[in-house]
A and B are shown apart, each in its own frame.
Chain A
């Protein structure tokens, strides 16, 4: 069972944060097919949040095919997200580390690196859509 947490300063809608955390847990192998997600009542009471927020997150996960509700029992994981890509993580991480080293040598500080990555990532995603 995973435990959710919320960051209210992030500006990300609470239901999206719940979805991200489930996806992240799937990617990291903390959640596997067949695992039960925390009960709506427990998440609502634990985080002091509106139960509809939890329901909305779970419905979205169902829509994505990652989870399914069993009436009267709870919501269970039905999909995976690693897609065999976990194996690719290590080489990509090594390349990223090399790039980070280059960026530092070029005199970029942490914020500049992050800004450069985010803006490049965004424009690349936009080109993909267009």
Chain B
């Protein structure tokens, strides 16, 4: 099966600064992919490269087997929602649907109308008078109405209140269950990603730190705690992602692709997605930078 997004050594430089470096990915179809990272980590850059709004500085990217925005046929297969859920304030909900029908050859008018009914939106209402949550739902309807194979959502819920956020994700998950659509969505809210994503990409400092199916990532990582060790000795077969030491105890988050064999002094526990994401972000941040730590706290 063709990867929904395949990147090879992909990089993007703006004014001498690398926003994305050496990104190699192959995301299989049929997933809800979470792209997580701090602000400025490269999430939007990667998504803009995937939609063809940016051209790579280095490397290549293919989306659904073609160069992004290679032509109208490729564009028709990808639905995209940018951060601010763009709608035209002066146009009504109904006008938006008509616009969608005119601009998209494969427009599914019945699907769009059903969604508007279910969302209880008045077709005569001006988009400018809708709530933030309703505007996001309208923008999602436009993206879904073209019946894309891949839906790319850049921070779709960041500006929504908790109730609207939940409703948006409920709607999105219901849609994913019904239609065969792959989704890539960026967010810095790990609790949301934990619910909806079954594939995760962690970006930090313009690089992909880890990517893969959530189940596999969770089963390959372990949290070890035990009597304090020399920080340079590590359990065999394990890669240490993060470590903390007190005078008596050491706690390590490790990656082990095979079974872990440890002396019995270690206690092994399962890792939660949030711990895993934060460990990779901290690893990237290197020595603690106060500002970054504040960001990390804000994430949890």
Asked if B191 lies at the interface with its beta carbon under 8 angstroms from chain A, I say yes
A contacts with B, residue count (CB < 8 A): 19
Option from A8, A11, A13 in Cβ contact (under 8 Å) with B191: A8
Chain B: how many interface residues by the 8 Å CB criterion?
Answer: 21
Instruction: Tell me if A50 and B170 are in contact (CB < 8 A).
Output: no
The smallest beta-carbon distance between A72 and chain B, in angstroms, is 13
Q: Which of A11, A46, A51 has the most CB of B within 10 A?
A: A51
Whether the pair A51, B191 counts as a contact (CB closer than 8 A) is no
Q: Is the CB of A48 within 8 A of B178?
A: no
Contact digits for A41-53, partner B, Cβ 8 Å, 1 yes 0 no: 1101111111111
Q: A50-B32, A50-B195, A53-B198 are in contact. Are A45 and B270 (CB under 8 A)?
A: no
Chain B binding site: helix, strand, loop or mixed by DSSP? Answer: helix
> Which residues on B are within 8 Å of A, measured CB to CB?
31-32, 166, 169-174, 176-178, 191, 194-198, 218, 270, 272
Residue of B nearest to A40 (CB): B177
* A14 contacts chain B at the CB level, 8 A cutoff: yes
Q: Is the Cβ of A49 less than 8 Å from the Cβ of B272?
A: no
Would A44 and B173 count as touching, CB distance under 8 A? yes
Q: Which of B31, B173, B272 has the most CB of A within 10 A?
A: B173
B58 nearest CB across to chain A (Å) = 33
Q: Whole-angstrom distance between the alpha carbons of A41 and B174 in the complex?
A: 5
A44 to B32, CA, bound (A): 12
Interchain CB contact under 8 A, A49 and B191: no
Alpha-carbon separation in the docked complex, A52 to B270 (Å): 21
Contact B170 A46 (CB under 8 A): yes
Do A48 and B166 form a contact, CB below 8 Å, given A8-B191, A40-B177, A53-B198?
A: yes
- Other than the given A8-B194, A50-B197, 14 more pairs (CB < 8 A) read A8-B191, A13-B218, A40-B177, A41-B177, A41-B178, A44-B173, A47-B170, A48-B196, A49-B195, A50-B176, A50-B198, A51-B176, A52-B198, A53-B198
